[in-house]
Amino acid sequence: MRRASCRVNCVGLGWWVSWAAMGTREPAIRRMKVWPPPSPGPWLLVLVAWLGWLVWSIGWIGVARAETRVTIGQGFVNAHSAPLWVAVENGYFRKHGIEPDVRLIRGGATTTAALLNGELKLASMALTQVIGPATRGADLIVVMSLVDKMSYRLIVGSHVRTPEDLKGKKVAVATLSGSAYVAARLALRHLGLDLKGARIGLIQMGTDPERLAALAAGSVDGAMVLPGTASRLPMPPYRMLIDLRDASIPWLHTCLVTTRSFVRSHPAVVEGALRAVAEGTAFVLDPRNAEAVKRVIARHLRLDEPAAAEESYRDAVEEIAWKPVPDLAGVGTVLQTMAALGIVEEAARLKPGDIVDPSIMQRLDQEGWLDGLRPGK
């Protein structure tokens, strides 16, 4: 109401000065009783009044449209990023007063460093990449779940027909502490293979497409990749040795991460970002938007074949969490697994609440806001 009143008063003042300058000044002087006679010419008064009103109007518009610029790290290149892509392209961030600056960051260590030094304010990344720094006291906190399933597949070359054939071979993972690495350790254990005893080398190879390219080139014998990426290789000759989705392991795979200090200093910005991504999630999972989502996935993953986009889309809607509230039980499983496999032994002393703050998403769920995003609501 203050802005509207100010605007009316400014417009009224400009009109009054214009009217006074055009030769009807005397009545106004008598009414006001205190008015120093103006020395400038009438048109100068008109110009000054108009310029004053114009400057005020531009400032008012700028305040009304002000947005907080937020840098967001995208830590992986697969269809799990679809909610983030949609939230940007559909204007959901701007709807909540945020100007998003999304950057692809390669590697969990680089992403966490960028979060801690303030270069990034939020990042989508694997929970496993948060645990190591958290054991060393890093100010990192998970605020939203994106995928709550262990969804990796172990894809191998045609020469690997049985698990025994993997002995002495190389398997590509993203990093030597990330989710693909943990998935590889779980897959090998499920297949009855000991990493050291079977002399299996886990090779750091970057993103899903890069791992797939290494397998296709024969640089490695197998690769841990997500289902949507796996669809790019013909089967046969390539084959899937294990799909960890069938193991039904309670898990928190990918999530939205920030720092505790940023949550404390900018709670409204964090909530706005979470609302935007949740709306992106709802759009992706709404069957009515299937074709639009496939186009987004195909464009970002550079998929030329409709069949590849279709499979990536199907895997995304199967794996992305409808209610992106972090599941503490799944976090507990990740901590136990990281410690038991000796990847981050210090993870055994962490509790889920040490690295996860589900309070914002829990409140949005309890208020019914998340349910209101479902189709038909």
> Which residue among 189, 221, 247 closes a domain?
247
Q: Are residues 15 and 72 in the same domain?
A: no
Q: Are residues 265 and 137 in the same domain?
A: yes
Write down the pLDDT at residue 368. 96
Q: Are residues 368 and 258 in the same domain?
A: yes
SS3 of 308, please? helix
Of the chain, the end-to-end C-alpha distance in Å amounts to 33
> Which residue among 247, 277, 310 closes a domain?
247
Q: What is the pLDDT of residues 65-119, one digit of tens each?
A: 457 999 999 988 889 999 999 999 999 999 999 999 999 998 888 999 999 999 9
Write down the pLDDT at residue 4. 40
Q: Are residues 7 and 83 in the same domain?
A: no
pTM reported for the whole predicted model: 0.75
> Which residue among 226, 247, 268 closes a domain?
247
Write down the pLDDT at residue 40. 54
Q: Are residues 258 and 218 in the same domain?
A: no
Low-confidence ranges of the chain (pLDDT < 70): 1-66, 376-377
DSSP state letter for 38: P
Q: Are residues 275 and 144 in the same domain?
A: yes
Q: What is the DSSP string of 202-231?
A: EEE--SHHHHHHHHHHTS-SEEEE-HHHHT
Cα–Cα distance, 228 to 222 (Å, whole number): 16
Q: Are residues 290 and 322 in the same domain?
A: yes
Structurally, the chain folds into a number of domains equal to 3
Q: Are residues 82 and 46 in the same domain?
A: no
Q: Are residues 135 and 217 in the same domain?
A: no
Q: Are residues 263 and 211 in the same domain?
A: no
Cα–Cα distance, 176 to 47 (Å, whole number): 68
Q: What is the pLDDT of residues 3-49, one digit of tens each?
A: 443 433 443 434 333 434 444 444 433 343 444 545 555 555 556 56
What's phi and psi for 168, nearest 5 deg? Answer: 75, 10
Q: Are residues 258 and 366 in the same domain?
A: yes
Q: What is the DSSP string of 46-70?
A: HHHHHHHHHHHHHHHHHHHT--EEE
Answer yes or no: are the C-beta atoms of 170 and 220 closer than 8 Å: yes
Q: Are residues 260 and 357 in the same domain?
A: yes
The residue range of the domain holding 27 is: 2-64
Write down the pLDDT at residue 138. 97
For residue 235, is it left (φ>0), alpha (ψ between -120 and 50) or beta?
beta
**To the nearest 10°, the Cα dihedral for 150, 356, 320, 212?**
-50
**Residue 135 is part of a domain; what is its CATH number?**
3.40.190.10
